[in-house]
Amino acid sequence: MAEKLDLNLIRKDFPILDQQVNGSPLVYFDNAATTQKPQVVIDALNRYYTQDNANIHRGLHTLAERATTGYELTRTKLKDFLHAPSTDQIIFTSGTTAGINLVAQTYGRANFTAGDVILVSNLEHHSNIVPWQMIAQETGAEVQVIPVDELGVLDMVAYQSLLTDRVKLVAVNHVSNAIGTINPIKQMIDWAHRVGAKVLIDGAQSVAHFDIDVQALDLDFFVFSAHKLFGPTGVGVLFGKRELLETMPPYQGGGEMIKEVSFSGTTYNELPYKFEAGTPNIADVYAFGFALDYLASLPKNAVWEQEKALLDYATEQLSQIDGLRIVGQAPEKIAVVSFVIDGVHPQDIGVLLDKFGVAIRTGHHCAQPLMARYDLVGTCRASFAFYNTKEEIDLFVKALKRCLMMLS
Amino acid sequence: MINQTQDELIEEFGLFDDWADKYEYLIDLGKKLLPMSESFKTEDNVIKGCQSKVWLHAEKQGDLVVFQADSEAIIVKGMISMLIRVLSNHTPEEIIKADLYFIDQIGMSQHLAQTRSNGLVAMVKQMKNYAVAFSAIA
């Protein structure tokens, strides 16, 4: 098991990492916002547009055939990646947000009525709150919130008591984007199913870190974005159970999603095309397949060990800074460290760190209810990927100490 | 004169060669910003579009517009301090017509780009809006 990642080799796969920013070597610790792309993904994008570009599914010519095959091949790879029962339960969207909105506007509109409850958690990103508030307002359903404790762990006792037969859907993230908590989704799904509720898991922050088995988890809906999984921006994935997807009305109308159109009525296409109106993001979907191949080629345990080592080392180094407090200390966390420093606004840290070549995220991380829970205006968040190194953490901590000297 | 103050700021920042020193000076300006009266730190006075909270209050004293402002973030306070030094205590007409070239010429425009989109533009716009409002009343 002693297999370790050869970081020198791995970093060469991500050309963007090798550059100077503001005169210092780039330290990219904003992986929870988006991950960098391996050369194979960049090459695939280039190859698609230089050799294969055509519109998919209807063209009879060779390029259309190649483009269609490339696009659908990614769907097949995703079926394996998610351990899904079939490719037609894999729907391409533009991102996590689009996937959640799709479920809210189709499943939600068809199934929620006045008095129903949609359960979200206090850890959610705005994109897993606002779409539910919007559909709740339309249908008379109510959004209720699973509380979170001081450490950043969901209150499972409260969850249990919130789970009444009024709950139609539980929408929670697998991993908190702001503070890194890993939620016990298997248990949450089982409990929800016992009261007849469906579950949507926002996997935006988890797919880059764990194996996902949608069947073992008995997931109803799972959504994530390619760009947080070393793939291109503008591609998202929605997995859904067949019986749910089949009974859901279409989302957007247009080409591709239809079977037959006449002015007396239109019939809709089969899954997954029913939900893929219009020309999709063919090039990026195609290139995303190469990100999945790249990940599959890495030794999974070694990736996990590397991320764990980075989390532990960063936590230890940051904890030694006077006045620094780590926000989110759940026992189960991904490689994300969110922190605040007494008397210093996160924005000042973010601005100055950038001058030292260090990219982190500052602010509310699109999780204002969570910031309000901890009475914070925001945090500084360093988020790691397997291509990051301990040496980069040293550069980051040194830069942070210099920033604090400048600000004091 | 607005331009004279701008030229002074350009000269002051010209004394520093590297970005870290310029930032330290900016932070220093932020620390020295005259405190804003707590009674003006209202929700109405918050400027939207900034990552940190920024409050701006304006009043007319005689013919002149006087600004007070504050922020939770020190670098933003430094920018506020410069804007107040340049624009406060001038007539509405002078403020409306002011071309704020110092922002590009203190040698930090590349560095300020990020906070600029985050708040500097919103602050300047709000200060000019006050000037327009006061000139309309007059």
pLDDT tens per residue, range A152-163: 999 999 999 999
First to last CA, chain B: 21
- Output the pLDDT for position A59: 83
Please judge whether B19 and A406 are an interchain contact, meaning their C-beta atoms are less than 8 angstroms apart: no
Q: Which residue has the higher pLDDT, A320 or A259?
A: A320
Residues 75 through 134 of chain B touching chain A, CB cutoff 8 Å? 75-76, 111, 114-115, 118
Give residue A324's pLDDT band: very low, low, confident or very high (50, 70, 90). very high
Out of B24, B52, B111, whose CB is closest to A345?
A: B52
- Eight-state DSSP code of residue A224: E
- Output the pLDDT for position B111: 61
Cβ-based neighbour number of residue A8 at 10 Å: 8
Domains and CATH numbers, chain B: 2-137 (3.90.1010.10)
Please judge whether A345 and B74 are an interchain contact, meaning their C-beta atoms are less than 8 angstroms apart: yes
| Same domain flag for A94 and A201 | yes
Out of B19, B53, B73, whose CB is closest to A355?
A: B19
* Residues facing A327 on adjacent strands: A338
Cβ-based neighbour number of residue A115 at 10 Å: 11
Spell out where A58-141 has E strands: 90-93, 117-121
Cβ-based neighbour number of residue A81 at 10 Å: 21
- Last residue within a domain, chosen from A296, A329, A356: A296
Percent of chain B with pLDDT over 90: 69
The 10s digit of each residue's pLDDT in B63-89 is 999 999 999 999 989 999 999 999 999
| Same domain flag for A203 and A337 | no
| Same domain flag for A340 and A290 | no
- Output the pLDDT for position B112: 65
Per-residue pLDDT, averaged over A2-27, amounts to 94
| Same domain flag for A279 and A305 | no
Please judge whether A347 and B111 are an interchain contact, meaning their C-beta atoms are less than 8 angstroms apart: no
Q: Is A348 on the interface with B (CB under 8 A)?
A: yes
Any domain includes A245: yes
Question: Does the interface ipTM go beyond 0.90?
Answer: no
Instruction: Write the CB contacts of B40 (distance below 8 Å, at least 6 apart in sequence).
Output: B55, B57, B68
For residues A374 and A151, the answer to whether their CB atoms sit within 8 Å is no
Q: Is the pLDDT of residue B18 over 90?
A: no
The 10s digit of each residue's pLDDT in A117-138 is 999 999 999 999 999 999 999 9
Q: Is A401 on the interface with B (CB under 8 A)?
A: no
- Output the pLDDT for position A278: 93
Any domain includes A38: no
Percent of chain A with pLDDT over 70: 100
Of A406, A309, A402, A396, nearest to A27 (Cα)? Answer: A396
| Same domain flag for A26 and A84 | no
| Same domain flag for A253 and A359 | no
Q: In A, which residues are within 8 Å of B74 by CB distance?
A: 344-345, 348, 407
Q: In A, which residues are within 8 Å of B114 by CB distance?
A: 351, 354
- Output the pLDDT for position A69: 96
d(CA A153, CA A392) in angstroms, rounded, equals 29
- Output the pLDDT for position B113: 61
In degrees, to the nearest 5, what angle opens at C-alpha B73 toward C-alphas A23 and A343? 100
- Output the pLDDT for position A5: 93
- Output the pLDDT for position B114: 60
Query: In this structure, what are the phi and psi dihedrals at residue A55, rounded to the nearest 5 degrees?
Result: -80, 150
Residues shown for chain B: 138
Q: Is B52 on the interface with A (CB under 8 A)?
A: yes
| Same domain flag for A19 and A66 | no
| Same domain flag for A145 and A202 | yes
The 10s digit of each residue's pLDDT in A89-98 is 999 999 999 9
| Domain limits for position A153 | 43-296
Alpha helices in A169-237 (DSSP H): 185-194
d(CA A84, CA A220) in angstroms, rounded, equals 11
Q: In B, which residues are within 8 Å of A344 by CB distance?
A: 74
Any domain includes A1: no
Instruction: Write the CB contacts of A147 (distance below 8 Å, at least 6 apart in sequence).
Output: A122, A154, A155, A158
Please judge whether B73 and A354 are an interchain contact, meaning their C-beta atoms are less than 8 angstroms apart: no
Count of structural domains within chain A: 2
Quote the longest CA-to-CA distance of chain A: 72
The 10s digit of each residue's pLDDT in A56-83 is 988 889 999 999 999 999 999 999 999 9
SS3 A184: coil
- Last residue within a domain, chosen from A296, A322, A344: A296
CA atoms within 13 A on the CB side of A152: 27
Per-residue pLDDT, averaged over A307-317, amounts to 98
CB-count burial class (<10 Å; 0-12, 13-18, 19+) for B79: buried
Out of A22, A347, A355, whose CB is closest to B73?
A: A347
| Same domain flag for A289 and A211 | yes
A73-77, A186-190, B134-138, range with the lowest pLDDT: B134-138
Cβ-based neighbour number of residue A69 at 10 Å: 12
Q: Is B135 on the interface with A (CB under 8 A)?
A: no
Q: In B, which residues are within 8 Å of A378 by CB distance?
A: 51
| Same domain flag for A262 and A308 | no
Please judge whether A377 and B72 are an interchain contact, meaning their C-beta atoms are less than 8 angstroms apart: yes
The 10s digit of each residue's pLDDT in A15-38 is 999 999 989 999 999 999 999 999
| Same domain flag for A57 and A191 | yes
Query: In this structure, what are the phi and psi dihedrals at residue A230, rounded to the nearest 5 degrees?
Result: 70, 10
Out of A22, A345, A354, whose CB is closest to B73?
A: A345
- Using CA coordinates, name the residue in chain B closest to A408: B27
Give residue A1's pLDDT band: very low, low, confident or very high (50, 70, 90). very low
Do strands A336-341 and A379-383 pair parallel, antiparallel, or not at all (unpaired)? antiparallel
Any domain includes A391: yes
The 10s digit of each residue's pLDDT in A232-273 is 999 999 999 999 999 999 999 988 888 889 998 888 899 999
Q: Is B53 on the interface with A (CB under 8 A)?
A: yes
CATH number at residue A307: 3.90.1150.10
Per-residue pLDDT, averaged over A282-309, amounts to 97
- Output the pLDDT for position B110: 64
| Same domain flag for A147 and A267 | yes
Any domain includes A99: yes
Average pLDDT along chain A: 96
- Eight-state DSSP code of residue A206: T
- Last residue within a domain, chosen from A274, A296, A318: A296
